Amino acid sequence: MSGTPVTYQNVNQTTYQTFPGKLTSAPNITDPTALCGVPPFCDKSAVTGCSKIVLSACNSCNMVGAALFITMVILLAVAVLLSNGFVIFCSVTTKPGFTGQYGIIKASLAVADFLSGIQLLVIVVYNFTWSINVSASELGRRAYNLRGSTEATLGGIFYLFCFVSSLHHLILMSQQRLYAIGWPIKYKFQKQQTIYILLAVVWITAITTSSAPVWFPHNLTFVYVVPAFLFNLSTSKNYQSLMHVFFTIYVLPFLLMTLMSITTALVVRFKLAKKWKELRDDRKREVSIFVSVALMQFGFTITLLPIVVLILLTYTGAISCNNLSLPFAVCFYCSMSNSLVNVVVYSFRDEKFREAIVNYLSWLCKTRKKEMSHHTN
């Protein structure tokens, strides 16, 4: 998920604010409460053309596109919930590969990603359903009234929390891989209690940083993002204050994670690769886990890349409010898909995880056959 800066509408002026904070005129916008951006399945003319017509009946909105959009969101949500729920299940039932220090961190990370699935299935679906059944005027009015409201603040904090908690778990994984490969003896004698303490720090830090914008109400505010059907962080004054928060909450932790992973890779390359055949199996296993973690971080980065590029394009003026909505929605939900990356990596890299999936599916099939046989008899 990304912490992308969003837009806000000044209803006392006929202007709107784009991502970089540049104020430009808003031609053809007669509804004073319209925010920058419309639902991704509507074109810009919906602001005026659907001002008194519900979006589902408006010619400026494509309901086939709306159906495809919400179907993809629901499929993504279900995939996130089922896959991460299965990881949590494997941890609770102490399946092989989900015990020990690394297994505990994987389970905690799955909880963070599971929350993203809840966000998609509950908040996005609700806001989508409401949006298509109101006019553009009502949609814009609601978006304006939600700025800085309790609902927007709680929803925005929850959105930031889901993203930040996943990122902080990846940082912890990077730290543990560096510790395991750089200082193997100390890592071997690390107590499991230490992992629980570190995970507590991860969750507390995620809660603290995601709620930090509330401390600066004069510069920052939470808003309803029309093209995404979610709440996010914005600014009511200047773009620089938003960028400072963005850098502190997202960029610095990401750089820390990357730095630790690069350091670990250098240790593997220059200290362990030359004597690979002589290494014990447990040392090789730690390197294998590092590769898995590195792939998870790579996937995390790839899913965020589109939204970062969109921000840059918007800052340069290549994308404006007139053509923002669809690219924003695509890039935004691409970033949300990072909650699936970890499970995909486990499926390819972890043989025990694949075995657990096969065994569970086999059990489901057998149970289903018994039920059908019972009903037949």
What string of DSSP letters covers 332-362? Answer: HHHHHTHHHHHHHHHHHH-HHHHHHHHHHHH
Considering only residues 18 and 351, tell me which one the structure prediction assigns the higher pLDDT.
Answer: 351
- What was the pLDDT predicted at 116? 95
Query: Do 222 and 161 meet the contact criterion of CB atoms below 8 Å apart?
Result: no
Residue 358 counted as domain residue: no
Residue 69 counted as domain residue: yes
Q: Is the pLDDT of residue 82 over 80?
A: yes
Mean pLDDT over 244-273 rounds to 87
Local confidence band at 214 (pLDDT 50, 70, 90 cut-offs): confident
Give the least confident one: 139-148, 325-334, 353-362: 353-362
- What was the pLDDT predicted at 207? 94
Alpha-carbon torsion angle 366, 371, 373, 377, nearest 10 = 160
Give the least confident one: 91-95, 99-103, 318-322, 343-347: 318-322
Residue 360 counted as domain residue: no
- What was the pLDDT predicted at 334? 93
Residue 362 counted as domain residue: no
- What was the pLDDT predicted at 108? 95
- What was the pLDDT predicted at 243? 77
> Three-state SS across 92-141?
HCCCCCCCHHHHHHHHHHHHHHHHHHHHHHHHHHHHHHHHHCCEHHHHHH
Helices (H), the chain: 46-49, 63-92, 100-118, 125-132, 136-146, 150-182, 184-188, 192-211, 239-246, 252-267, 281-315, 325-336, 338-349, 351-376
- What was the pLDDT predicted at 7? 38
- What was the pLDDT predicted at 241? 72
Q: Distance between CA atoms of 162 and 112, rounded to whole angstroms? A: 6
- What was the pLDDT predicted at 169? 95
**Structural domain count, the chain:** 1
Residue 357 counted as domain residue: no
Q: Model's pTM, two decimal places?
A: 0.84
- What was the pLDDT predicted at 105? 92
Helices 63-92 and 100-118: crossing angle in degrees, nearest 10, is: 150
Mean pLDDT over 147-152 rounds to 90
Residue 87 counted as domain residue: yes
- What was the pLDDT predicted at 140? 85
- What was the pLDDT predicted at 368? 74
Q: What Rg, from alpha-carbon coordinates, does the chain have?
A: 23
Q: What is the mean pLDDT of the chain?
A: 82
Residue 371 counted as domain residue: no
Q: Which domain holds residue 283?
A: 8-345
Query: Do 340 and 77 meet the contact criterion of CB atoms below 8 Å apart?
Result: no
Local confidence band at 375 (pLDDT 50, 70, 90 cut-offs): low
Q: Which phi and psi angles does 236 have, rounded to 5°? A: -105, 0
Residue 359 counted as domain residue: no
Strands 220-225 and 230-235: antiparallel
pLDDT tens across 297-355, in order? 999 999 999 988 887 787 777 777 777 788 889 999 999 999 999 999 988 888 788 88
Q: Distance between CA atoms of 249 and 359, rounded to whole angstroms? A: 40
Give the least confident one: 27-36, 56-65, 96-105, 363-372: 27-36
Q: Distance between CA atoms of 258 and 341, rounded to whole angstroms? A: 17
What is the 8-class DSSP label of residue 34?
A: P
- What was the pLDDT predicted at 107? 92
Local confidence band at 81 (pLDDT 50, 70, 90 cut-offs): very high
Check which CATH number belongs to the domain holding 158 and give it.
Answer: 1.20.1070.10
- What was the pLDDT predicted at 238? 63
Local confidence band at 32 (pLDDT 50, 70, 90 cut-offs): very low
Considering only residues 15 and 312, tell me which one the structure prediction assigns the higher pLDDT.
Answer: 312
